[in-house]
Amino acid sequence: MKLVGEIEAVWPECRLCVCCDLTKKYELMLRGSCNQVLTALSENPNVEKGEYCLVVEVPPCEKAAAPERTELTPEMFLLSRMMEGEELDQAGDAALEAGYPRNGVKRAKIAVKRRFDL
Residue (of 78, 7, 59, 82) closest to 37 by Cα position: 7
Structural domains in the chain (count): 2
Same domain, 35 and 78: no
Same domain, 27 and 6: yes
Whole-number Å distance between alpha carbons of 76 and 67: 11
CB atoms within 10 A of CB 43: 8
Same domain, 52 and 80: no
Same domain, 80 and 112: yes
Same domain, 13 and 53: yes
CB proximity list for 55: less than 8 A, separation 6 or greater:
16, 17, 19
Same domain, 108 and 88: yes
CATH number (domain holding residue 38): 3.30.950.10
Within-domain flag for 63: no
51: containing domain? 2-57
Within-domain flag for 51: yes
Read off the pLDDT of residues 77-115 as tens digits, 9 standing for 90 and up.
999 999 999 999 999 999 999 999 999 999 999 999 998
Same domain, 11 and 32: yes
- Mean pLDDT within 32-41: 88
Could you tell me the pLDDT band of residue 76, with boundaries at 50, 70 and 90? very high
Q: In what order do the strands lie in the sheet with 52-57?
A: 28-33, 15-20, 52-57
